[in-house]
Amino acid sequence: MRGIRTPSIFLTRDHLSFEISIHVVATELPGVTVKNRNYLIDSIQNRKDYAKIFNYKKPTLKRATTVGFTPGGVGVAFDLQALIQMFQFRKNRQMLAFQKRLLQEEQDKYVDKRFSKRYITRLTGLQGVALDSFMLLYRPAYEFVLGVNDLELGVYIQMSFEHFELVR
């Protein structure tokens, strides 16, 4: 390969561990594209990737669709696959738990996007450990964040900050 030199071995002071590194000419490395994170695009992609999980419903007993019709015949047929899926208790519990976890993760990311460090710092001036404590103590519920606009969220943050300053 062009641009790659021989490996170097560096001994540490205790001589029991070592570090191996390969020197590469930076101009020979492939380009890297960095994309800005976008909550909406990430959420849509997550929904596509896990569509089977997000759309999962607990199996129920279904009638089979019959291909032919016999005049004078009476009968009921059940979908065998649906019947088998009903009794796969462990798989059904795991799928429902995974679906619940994905939904919770999506809700947490939405709250993180709206109730962000940058937004709180801009409104309150908090930084460092105080900011982390504030975010932990006053993190709003998903339902609240979903139901308020940016102005109302800002008022909530400012009122919470006033309370935070009193108890701190």
Domain boundaries, the chain: 40-66+74-167
Task: Write down the pLDDT at residue 83.
Answer: 59
What token pair was written down for 128? 């460092």
Would you say residue 3 has pLDDT above 60?
Answer: no
Indicate the DSSP class of residue 3: T
Tell me if 106 sits within 8 A of 142, measured CB to CB.
no
Question: Cα(26)–Cα(80) distance, rounded to whole angstroms?
Answer: 60
User: Which amino acid, 6?
Assistant: T
- Over the stretch 120-151, which tens digit does the pLDDT of each residue have? 999 999 999 999 999 999 999 999 999 999 99
Would you say residue 2 has pLDDT above 60?
Answer: no
- Over the stretch 95-113, which tens digit does the pLDDT of each residue have? 888 888 888 988 998 999 9
pTM: 0.55
User: Which amino acid, 54?
Assistant: F
Tell me the three state secondary structure of residue 52.
helix
| Phi then psi dihedrals of residue 30, to 5 deg | -70, 155
| Phi then psi dihedrals of residue 56, to 5 deg | -70, 135
